[in-house]
Amino acid sequence: MARNLSENDLKPVAGGGLLDRRLLLKSGLVLATAQSVSTSVGADEVDPSDPPWQRKTGGPFTTYGTPSPFEKYVIRNIGGNRTPAGDGVSWTPLEDLEGIITPSGLHFERHHDGVPAIDPALHRLVIHGLVRQPLEFTVESLLRYPMQSRFLFIECGGNSNAGWHEEPIQRPVGAFHGLVSCSEWTGVPLAILLNEAGIDAGASWVIAEGADAGLLNVSLPLSKLVDDAMVALYQNGERIRPENGYPLRLIVPGWEGITSVKWLRRLHVTDTPSMTRNETAKYTELLPSGKARMFTFVMDAKSLITSPSPGQKMYGADTYEIRGLAWSGRGRIAKVDVSADGGKSWAEAHLQDPVLPQCFTRFRMPWAWNGKPAVLKSRATDETGYVQPEREVLVKERGRDGYFHYNAIVSWAVDEDGEITHVYA
């Protein structure tokens, strides 16, 4: 299992067999062991046992690539469509992905009224209200403005809400926590456009409205939009996919997904929020006291172990790499602690570069599993010092009538057969 490593290197740093994260940077720690081969066939020799793809010229060039047919099971999980039609979600299969970028075709979806088929030549973005000069932009004109790119997660405020259930639900991690994805978004800083329209002195809010049939709209504080919002036109290098807002969407870094209005067509500058259905009846949380939390915009720090996770299987006592994702709407992830003994002891995971604000951070932790039952947990701390809470603490603070902003520590139980289940521990 380990070459060049001393016995001391392999001494667990916490209960349940967690190893020092720095081991991942040393050579010698062999995780899943490869099978050794005895044959030695030269490169230009034809071996009758060669697979068919090695015996003739391969397939043609393609104008737009698609994943291997062997990966056809890596798909978004479509959540039961609610009434009215077009109101629903599809989840990102987080357990099947690596690194920090979500492929555009697997970015989660949340539509309130379906995906509009917008002709970019006819689409307009209007900025009006408390401005010196109302403006109307075509997509063509927006493409000529100075742009910026940022790697940012978008997370629905309702992500992980099954965590409020009395009993832990058993689903793959993506079908539970997959209303979060991370892309490189490129577009025009909103401050440039607002500045061009000239904001009146008394302005403090902006109503952002989409061009879907339901004209989804939300009220946003002007200060945040001036600070770091953008009108995005590109996602992971190509124009935004229809599902994610083509031809353009608002991106509000670190805030709940509903604020990143897709198919953006109007920014109405005002001095008061509009208090529409989507910010009062919904996206507002009732507390145990009977009072409600409103405008809970920021997404608090959160983390998940994506491997091993429910639906996957461990193959006996061996050394494994625990892998996961962490993110915070308040800035960068400062550290992720991992426990293999249900939270009795913790060790710090390795954070893979880059570690960017309001972006997925990939963490890794070497683990010598002894084949006995274990409970895995991860706990994120962000650069503001905010620590992801245990479930008990979150439920105590927010009660059980909540629906949004569930960010408690997640626990996976590993049994002797290597089966993994979701537990409250």
Binding-site ranges for ligand MTE (CB under 6 A): 107-112, 154, 156, 210, 212, 216, 244, 257-258, 260-263
Looking at beta carbons only, is 173 or 261 nearer to Mo ion? 261
Judged by beta carbon distances under 5 to 8 A according to partner kind, the member of Mo ion, ligand MTE, none in contact with residue 154 is: ligand MTE
Which residue lies nearer to ligand MTE by CB, 12 or 114?
114
- 258 is an interface residue for Mo ion by CB under 5 A: yes
Closest to ligand MTE by CB, 299 vs 336, is 299
Please count the CA atoms within 13 angstroms of the CA of 281 that sit on its side-chain side: 3
Residue 121 CB, shortest distance to Mo ion, in Å, is 29
Query: Which strands, in side-by-side order, build the sheet including 264-270?
Result: 135-138, 124-129, 264-270, 205-210, 217-221
Q: Does position 29 bind Mo ion by CB under 5 A?
A: no
Strands 420-423 and 411-414: antiparallel
Q: What is the closest distance, in whole angstroms, from the C-beta atom of residue 349 to Mo ion in the complex?
A: 28
180 interacts with Mo ion by CB under 5 A: no
d(CA 188, CA 207): 18
Backbone dihedral region of 198: left (phi > 0), alpha (psi from -120 to 50 degrees) or beta?
Answer: left
CB proximity list for 175: less than 8 A, separation 6 or greater:
77, 91, 93
Nearer to ligand MTE, 18 or 118 (CB): 118
Minimum distance, C-beta of residue 393 to ligand MTE, in the bound complex (Å): 25
| Smallest separation, CB 90 to ligand MTE (Å) | 8
| Residue 244 or 381 having the CB closest to ligand MTE | 244
Closest CB 99 distance from ligand MTE, rounded Å: 18
Closest CB to Mo ion: residue number: 156
Question: CB 257 → ligand MTE: shortest distance, Å?
Answer: 2
Q: Which of residues 88-117 bind Mo ion (CB under 5 A)?
A: 110
**257 contacts Mo ion (rule: CB under 5 A):** yes
CB 155, min distance to Mo ion, A: 8
CA gyration radius for the chain?
A: 24
Decide: 256 and 224 in contact? Cβ < 8 Å. no
- Smallest gap from Cβ 398 to ligand MTE, in A, equals 20
Nearer to Mo ion, 250 or 414 (CB): 250
- Residue among 262 and 265 whose Cβ is closer to Mo ion: 262
Tokens representing residue 114 in the block: 């379906």
The answer to whether residue 177 forms part of the interface with Mo ion (CB under 5 A) is no
DSSP secondary structure of 188-203? EEHHHHHHHH-B-TT-
DSSP per-residue letters across 322-369:
EEEEEE-TTS-EEEEEEESBTTSS-EEPEEPSP--TTS-EEEEEEEEE
Q: How many residues lie near Mo ion (CB under 5 A)?
A: 4
21 vs 262, beta carbon nearer ligand MTE: 262
Reading the block at residue 78, the tokens are 């479509």
Q: In the chain, count of helices (H) and strands (E)?
A: 5, 24
Whether the Cβ atoms of residue 303 and residue 326 lie closer than 8 Å to each other: yes
Q: With beta carbons less than 8 A apart as the criterion, state whether 409 and 327 touch.
A: no
Of residues 141-160, those binding Mo ion (CB under 5 A): 156
In the complex, the residues that contact Mo ion under the rule CB under 5 A are 110, 156, 257-258
